[in-house]
Every structure is written in C-alpha cells, then in structure tokens.
Structure 1
C-alpha cells in the first residue's frame, strides 16, 4: 500500500474544511434556516364537526401560502395540529407540547372560549403569539397581553346586535335561551336576562357531551316561551336541540345566537331547522380576490362552500404567516405582533385591522333564515 500521498491528502482536507468554515461564518444566520419549514401550531377540537371545519380552513391557508412560494425566502409553512377537545386541561397540555416539544412560537386556531382563556396564560408565560380564530369571550382581548389576537367578533358585539334584532324585529313576549354550559353559553344567558327582563322566562344549560335534549326542551315548553334561542358551538348539538323542539311539540320561533346557524346544522337537523334564523359575519358570496380564490380552492377540495368557521381557521394561519413575512422573522413574536397591530390585512372577509387589545374590527353582520334546507339572507 502506498502511504506517500497521506500528508498531501490531509493538507487538502484541512484546506477544504477551512474554506467551508470561512464560508459558513460569512453567511447571515437566516441562511442556515433557508429551506427549513416555518412551524405554526394549531389547536382545534378535531374530533368535532366544528373543529374539523376550522382545521380544514387552517390547512388550506398553509397550502395556498406554500403554493405561492412560501414565506421568508421560500420557506414552507408547516402546521402542527393538536386536539383541544373543548377541554381547558387538554388545550393547555396541547399548548405546552407545542411550546416545549415542538418549539413553536406561534399558535393559531381554537374554538372554545374556555380553552382559549386557559391557553392564553400559557402563551403569555412563554412569550408566544396566540392568534385565536373563533373564541368569543370578551376577556380574551382584555388581558393586556400584546401578543394575543382574535379574528371573530366578541360576545358583547354579537349579543348587542342579535338582541337588538330580536327586540326590534321579532319582539318576543316570552324568550327562552338554551345554551351550552361554558363561559360562552352562560355569558349569553346572563346578557339576555338583563336585556329582556320580565320577558326572559327560561335559561337552560346543557353539557358539551349531551346528545338528548328532550327533557330540557320539555322544561322550556312548560315555561310558555314563544321564542327559543339556541347557543351551541357544536353544530351537532344545535341540530339535536332543534329536533327535540319538534319531538316534544314545542311550538315556538327558533333562533340561534349570532355565529351559530350554518349549513352544517341544516344538514344535520333536516326539516327541524326550517324557519330558524340567526346572523353571522361571513358569506361565501362576498366578492374580493382572496375570497374568490379561497372559496374556489375550498370547494374543489371539500365539495361544498366554506362558512364562517372555515374562514376564521383560514385567517388564523394566513395572517400569522403573512405577518411573519412582513416582520421578516419566524421567531421574534414581538416584531410579528407589532406588524399585526400597525398594518391592515387582506382576508376573505375583506380588509381588517386589529385594535390595541388585538381584537379585529368587525364588518357588518348578515342575517339568515333557514328555508327549504338552505340559508337565505333575510331582509
């Protein structure tokens, strides 16, 4: 064996190594991250219909951004999705896993106000940016934390609008509210009690695991209510409640809290939903370039048009990623939060801004009524 070339080979290897080290040292830190995916954590109650709606919207946002070439020099957006299961304990555990295990600095999504309020504390303790999609409790954007944002309207705004519609257009003499036993549901009941006074005749709550509403609706029937308003985050529970009204022979006008009534409920409830009315902040027919593309892509992928929950899930990821791009960072949550606060943002709902607390500024509401298995804008 010829050993005479070993010193030469060693010198060549040393020279190559030194050159590589010098080249790497000259590169900016971002160059090492080039090509690495940008992680965004997503919390949703993924076993439920509404959670799946939100997840579908979030996933389409990442897909559309990646199809456009990604962000921050071509990096792809990678979603890490965990099930929060409508339970604060599970939501907190999922958030901690995202932060400690997956090293995520940005969390998007969520449906439940109770879960979101618990996750907010974890986000705050870890300097994580939290872009909440659907939670409505006002306290979420009154915490003083400058890295929490909310895309949907608040319960205060929804209740004020819908109660005004009831008072001016429906004029119930005896109102009953049937609500989920959560911060959200209890908040609506208390607000309706104050606004309707003696005309508020019943406020009943149900558990998130409940599927049989016949006993509850029998109690509501005994109250003599002429209008029953259903407050349910889960479409399957709203549908079961509507069916139970027919089962027990409760002849009353059917309404849902703002943001509840959607096509999923109509599909699940069938004829029992006929005549139900409500309102929301999004319709798929809204015309702007981003909504046109969003609706087209969503319908091609899922076979039906998106609704409010899908669009809010979409926006939670879309705006988080777009703000990272505007701020020029995937790690500095303060810079991304600053970008979100100071800019206007294009969304499928139109242009939105965030106030100092992180609350998005709402557009006009749209009123709906269920007719012939479809939601029709009411006049």
Structure 2
C-alpha cells in the first residue's frame, strides 16, 4: 500500500509539475503587438473610442480561444493621432522605431491615412480602416491594405439608390473642406446629375467648426429636395443634423456613407429619423461571428457596437488570421500574400483584397427607423 501511495503521489506531482511547466511556457510566449493609431482626442475622439473598443472586443474573442501562433495573445498598443496627419505620422514613428510593434492599424480619417501610408511605406503591414480617399490604396505600398470602400466606390453604389428610390429633382451639399470632401461632392454631383438630379449648391465647413447655421440657412434658401451631409465624425455630424432641422428645413436628409452609428442617432435626436446611409455594417445581420463580437463588445463596454468599431474588429480579425497563416508576425511578405491570397470570412461577411490592397466587400443600405439603425430590404 505504501508503495502504491508513493507511486500515486509521485505521478500526481509529476503531472502537476508538467502542467505548471506548460503554463509557464505558455506565459513565456510573447504577445503579438498590434499598434492602433486612433483619434482618441480632438473632434473625432468619440469615433476613436468606438474604434478602439471594437478592436479590443475582437482581440478578447481571439485571446479567449487561445490566441494565435500556438498560444500567443494579441496585445493592442494604442496611439492618439488627434485626427491630424502630423500626429498620425508621429505615432507611426513611435510605434515602429521605439515600441517595436508587429503590425499597424490606422487611417480612420483620409487626411491622416494619406500621410500615414508614406511613413509606413514598405516598412510594416498597415491596415487602413474607415478612410475613403482613393489615393490611399492607389498610391499605397506592398504592405498596405484598406477595409472601407473608397469614396468613388461608395458613391457609385449609393447614388444608384438615391437616383432610383428617392424621387428627387434637386440636392444641395454640406461638405467637409478637405480632399475627401471635395472629391465626394464632385463624385455625387456627376453621378446624380446623370440621372437628372440637379445640384443647387455646396457649402464647405472646416474640421473644428461647431456652428453651421449660416451655411445651412444658405442651403435652405435654395429649396433643394434633399440636403446631403458629408460628415466624418460623430460630434460634428450630430450638430449638423440638428441644425438642419433648426433652420426649418423639412426636406429629405441624406447621410454620407459609412458615418451612421448609434451615438450619432442618440445625439441627433429626431433630426436623424428616416435618414438613409450606406455601411459595411448591418446591425441586424445573422452572421455568427458578428453576433459573437457584438456579445463580447456589450459585455465589455457601455457603448453600442457601431460601424467604426466593426472595422476595427475586422482589422484585428484579418491580421490574426493572416499572421497565423504566415507563421510569424514579422513575415510581412507572407502576411501580405496571405491577405491577398484568398477570400476571408469575417464578422462583416466574405471579403477579398485586390492587387492594390483595397477590400472588396458588400455595402448595405441602412436607415434610422424609430431611433434604430436598420438594414433596408430590397
């Protein structure tokens, strides 16, 4: 009996030691570090928060399943680009040269993305997210990828719906005064004009403006059937929508593609009811990965999941898959080849990258109905 007890005790001790050793070994594996360059302060701070939360929820989902590369966890290293190109470039330099991150996610605003891509050119895998300016990928580099549709791609899809379904004869624009805003106004004026919708005017605003009453009063005086709002951040967008209605305008409001989120609906109040937009994110989708991400997000954060957060999540999801496939977070040629090599099933559906690193994925028409963002069924 003593011998048997000794054998059992020795076996148990050996098993425990082996288990502890395995645990220590797993803990010794370094994390895969994703640098997240986001607007965490300034006019786009709320959007940056949503983006960061989306990334964190997806990283948690992946880490809960054991991580990647046989047990390495994903670690997010966040940087504040303040919504400006200069800060974005500075953040990229710190991430690459000082903090030694493995890959980067950034480019929430086009102006930042256009500068950021030059700093990261051929140095590190970089996933741009919500930026829409075509030059981000047209003039990109071999390690650069972009998730959102370009403004040209969005305008082609969205303008068809506006032409076919909204019954408009005229439109006026309020547009952010940068390269993205000017290009968007140019695209829509051309495309809507081709189907007989006349552009009556366009008022530009600046990134830090808070009062749009004068510009909107001018647009209202033109008596357009619709006002198209090109807004790139939540706080400004909500102010514009409220002030449109405060001027007494009672016509149709059209929201630019990719900017609809629950906080915008909350802050805009009744002014956003019935307003259309276009988005890669359909909140009422039955995609199981999307449902799992939404559940994880709601367990971690108070905000409602939003388009901007879903792009952050998709960036983490794609990078995790491609790094796992490449076998090394620094094997950039292999990671780039993996991302371009086949379609990917993601929380936003099946997508693929073209040869320039531009994502090709489904765009949904959405509308605010009873204070909720819903998909418009054909």
User: TM-score, structure 1 length as denominator?
Assistant: 0.87
Q: How does 1:37-116 map to 2 (within 5 A)?
A: 37-47=31-41, 48-116=45-113
Pick the aligned partner of 2:372 from 360, 371, 374. Answer: 374
- 1:2-37 deviation per Cα after TM superposition (whole angstroms, max 9, x unaligned): xxxxxxxxxxxxxxxxxxxxxxxxxxxxx9995112
Give the match for residue 181 of structure 1. 177
Pick the aligned partner of 2:144 from 145, 148, 151. Answer: 148
Give the match for residue 326 of structure 2. 327
Give the Å deviation of 1:351. Answer: 2.1
Residues of 2 paired with 1:368 and 1:255: CA distance? 11
Question: Is contact 1:105-1:333 (8 Å) kept?
Answer: no
SS in 2 for 1:184: helix
Residues of 1 paired with 2:352 and 2:270: CA distance? 39
Give the match for residue 163 of structure 1. 159
SS in 1 for 2:114: helix
Give the match for residue 291 of structure 2. 292
SS in 2 for 1:224: coil
Residues of 2 paired with 1:369 and 1:65: CA distance? 31
SS in 2 for 1:203: strand
Larger radius of gyration: 1
Aligned-residue Cα RMSD (Å) equals 2.0
Question: Is contact 2:282-2:366 (8 Å) kept?
Answer: no
Residues of 2 paired with 1:144 and 1:36: CA distance? 30
Distance 1:181 1:128, change over 3 A: same
Q: How does 1:1-379 map to 2 (within 5 A)?
A: 35-47=29-41, 48-124=45-121, 127-143=123-139, 145-197=141-193, 199-303=198-302, 305-363=304-362, 365-379=363-377
Give the Å deviation of 1:143. Answer: 2.1
Tell which deviates more after alignment, 279-288 or 349-358: 279-288
In the alignment, structure 1 segments of 5+ residues that lack a partner are: 1-30
Residues of 2 paired with 1:243 and 1:305: CA distance? 21
Give the Å deviation of 1:288. Answer: 2.9
Give the Å deviation of 1:40. Answer: 1.1
Distance 1:249 1:32, change over 3 A: closer
Residues of 2 paired with 1:186 and 1:95: CA distance? 27
Aligned residues: 347
- 1:281-322 deviation per Cα after TM superposition (whole angstroms, max 9, x unaligned): 211332233122111111222245422211100111221122
Residues of 2 paired with 1:117 and 1:32: CA distance? 39
SS in 1 for 2:324: helix
User: TM-score, structure 2 length as denominator?
Assistant: 0.87
- 1:92-122 deviation per Cα after TM superposition (whole angstroms, max 9, x unaligned): 1111111111122411133101101111011
Provide runs of 4+ in structure 1 moved above 4 Å.
31-34
SS in 2 for 1:325: helix
Residues of 2 paired with 1:150 and 1:144: CA distance? 10
In the alignment, structure 2 segments of 5+ residues that lack a partner are: 1-24
SS in 2 for 1:353: strand
Question: Is contact 1:34-1:75 (8 Å) kept?
Answer: no
Residues of 2 paired with 1:229 and 1:50: CA distance? 21
